[in-house]
Amino acid sequence: MSQTPLLPNIVAGQAQSGQGAGTPLFDPVLGTELVRVSRDGLDVASAFRFAREQGGAALRALSYRERAGLLAAVVQVLQAKRDDYYAIATANSGTVTRDSAVDIDGGIFTLGQYAKWGEKLGDARALLDGGRIRLGKDEGFQAQHILTPTRGLALFINAFNFPSWGLWEKAAPALLSGVPVVVKPGTPTAWLTQRMVQDVVEAGVLPAGALSVICGSSHGLLDALEPFDVLSFTGSADTAALIRGHDAVAKRSVRVNIEADSLNSALLDPAATADSEAFKLFVNEVAREMTVKSGQKCTAIRRAFVPRALYQAAADAIGAKLAKTTVGNPRNEAVRMGALVSRAQFDSVREGLAQLLTEAQALYDGRSQALVDADPAVAACAQPVLLGTSDPVAARVLHDVEVFGPVATLMPYDSETQAYGLIRRGQGSLVASVYSADPAFTARAALELADSHGRVHAISPEVAQSQTGHGNVMPHSLHGGPGRAGGGEELGGLRALGFYHRRSAVQAHTGALDALAASATPLAF
Ligand code: NAP
């Protein structure tokens, strides 16, 4: 049998194949091998040097407006090849079209937003952070904080679940800031990231070295980082802990942003009834969040809280929605939910579910439904399972184990205060959603939950149509969360540029600060 193609890495502005047979990437539905990746033999240190010295210098020579133009050009390249990306996503991620769109179009949309926002920063080369502060008796001697692009590179070590969005949501603010990007995608789904970078580099719309992709092992990447580089990691808490302890971070002070796992919550208003609009919105969103991308979203609802009186009604209503979810081969039009990314993830979901079942029971179990057009012995297709416990206070595992698949746990609460306490037992999450027609309750819940969540998403009947979804990460809003979620911050409009800039205080005479201001612009959100 002939071997599948080895995807080249794209470094120093050109394709460079790794050595050896490489690691195979599979179709998670059919089980067939698709392509292989390798970075063996790649000179990482010189690839990084090229990115810093060539890519970084060329990007920094441009203004924000010019770099925003580069992002717009990248959007054009990607738009023209969307069909190819959908084909890769179907084959390598096993996603139905709607789920591929979240990743592919979500990534392109985010780039487009930063192109628009960057345009508004105009011809500046640096950003002003706040106003001038008088330092002494002499009015003329003042401090001005400024933000300048870091002279290092941005290394992204990404998770497997968003090979497109995971790249572009980080690359857009980095490139707009003038910082070159090297991405190491999660291996099981690296093909889409690799293809997109290859297309953009071949199109010649970015300076050489501005964008690179290294596929396969992450071994040695952190060793090659230098003090002015930044590292953005998305993945599991265990790998995050290794990264935090690496010399690059611990000794060379490489700035690091971590997006890790999260047990996100949904909270139904204590005043809701089974026929209220808030109840229906809650049910819809929980069922949707469980099934979009087969639950492989870091923001997906994992714990759903209802007033105790509505526990059974909510279980029945969510179960009825899940029962309509046909699972199987994404190429079959009858299928609503495709596969997990790999058989290894399938096993991991099964093991995680067994752990949760030590403290919960299945309220709806889709595992009895046959797969459509897929062989259960081969396909990494997991059916949705809604779990429940009547005693969430006594539970431990349910507040601690993130099952990265179509699984959530319904939990009843007895008082508003108890609900907030239970939600906080997630130890810091990316997002909590609140379902209520009462603005006062929503505001109270937002204040209670904001300190332990990067985002509070409130759904009321007025915004039923316009709300953007519990798990959808909009570039306008912060993405990240404290504690267990990694403590990171991404997006949030132009706030994201902060990670790729260095803040300094310039203490000088008014005349010098006036001259400085001529090439800087206020960072307005
Ligand atoms: P993972 O095993 O931690 O892998 C994440 C990335 O780290 C991959 O690129 C992986 O490469 C790389 N990696 C593995 N070991 C490493 C090491 N020792 N040093 C440096 N890099 C290393 O996580 P995963 O299982 O792929 O991702 C799923 C997790 O990501 C879930 O827990 C999910 O919650 C989380 N996630 C969080 C967010 C967020 O924004 N907060 C978004 C998506 C996913 P290989 O693939 O080659 O092993």
Q: Residue 60's pLDDT is what?
A: 97
Domain boundaries, the chain: 41-260+489-522, 264-474
Residue nearest to atom 15 of ligand 1 (CA): 239
Cα 64 to Cα 212: distance, rounded to the nearest angstrom: 21
Q: How far is the CA of 235 from the centre of ligand 1 (A)?
A: 3
Mean pLDDT value across residues 156-166:
98
> Given pLDDT bands bounded at 50, 70 and 90, which one contains residue 332?
very high
- What amino acid is encoded at 257 in this protein? N
| C-alpha to C-alpha distances, 295 to 249, 286, 298, 384, nearest whole angstrom | 32, 11, 8, 9
- Token pair in block for residue 120: 């508004």
Closest to 455 (Cα-Cα) out of 282, 264, 205: 264
% pLDDT > 90, the chain: 98
Q: Decide which of 3.10.20.30, 3.40.50.2300, 3.40.605.10, 3.40.50.300 is the CATH code for 41-260+489-522.
A: 3.40.605.10
Cα 431 to Cα 264: distance, rounded to the nearest angstrom: 6
Q: Residue 248's pLDDT is what?
A: 97
pLDDT digits (tens, 9 = 90+) for 405-429: 999 999 999 999 999 999 999 999 9
**Contacts of residue 141, Cβ cutoff 8 Å, sequence gap at least 6:** 134, 135, 507, 508, 509
> Given pLDDT bands bounded at 50, 70 and 90, which one contains residue 320?
very high
Pick from 37, 157, 238 the residue to mutate for probing ligand 1's pocket: most ligand atoms within 8 Å of its CB.
157
- Token pair in block for residue 245: 């302890």
Range of lowest pLDDT (64-78, 108-122, 133-147, 374-388): 133-147
> Given pLDDT bands bounded at 50, 70 and 90, which one contains residue 1?
low
> Given pLDDT bands bounded at 50, 70 and 90, which one contains residue 524?
confident
Q: How far is the CA of 189 from the centre of ligand 1 (A)?
A: 12
Q: What is the position in ligand 1's atom list of the atom closest to the CA of 246?
A: 19
Q: Residue 491's pLDDT is what?
A: 97
Mean pLDDT value across residues 307-312:
98
CB 6 within 8 A of CB 22: yes
Inform me whether the pLDDT recorded for 114 exceeds 60: yes
Topology match between the domains 41-260+489-522 and 264-474: no
264-474 fold: Aldehyde Dehydrogenase; Chain A, domain 2 (3.40.309)
Q: How does DSSP assign 61-104, residue by residue?
A: TS-HHHHHHHHHHHHHHHHHTHHHHHHHIIIII---HHHHHHHH
Q: How far is the CA of 158 from the centre of ligand 1 (A)?
A: 6
Mean pLDDT value across residues 481-493:
97
Q: Residue 3's pLDDT is what?
A: 86
Inform me whether the pLDDT recorded for 136 exceeds 90: no
Residue nearest to atom 17 of ligand 1 (CA): 239
- How much is the mean pLDDT over the chain? 97
Active site residue 298: yes
Q: How far is the CA of 259 from the centre of ligand 1 (A)?
A: 9
Inform me whether the pLDDT recorded for 323 exceeds 90: yes
pLDDT digits (tens, 9 = 90+) for 118-128: 999 999 999 99
> Given pLDDT bands bounded at 50, 70 and 90, which one contains residue 2?
low
How far the first Cα of the chain sits from its last, in Å, is 56
Is the pTM for the entire model greater than 0.85?
A: yes
Inform me whether the pLDDT recorded for 525 exceeds 80: no
pLDDT digits (tens, 9 = 90+) for 437-479: 999 999 999 999 999 999 999 999 999 999 999 999 999 999 9
Pick from 239, 243, 302, 403 the residue to mutate for probing ligand 1's pocket: most ligand atoms within 8 Å of its CB.
239
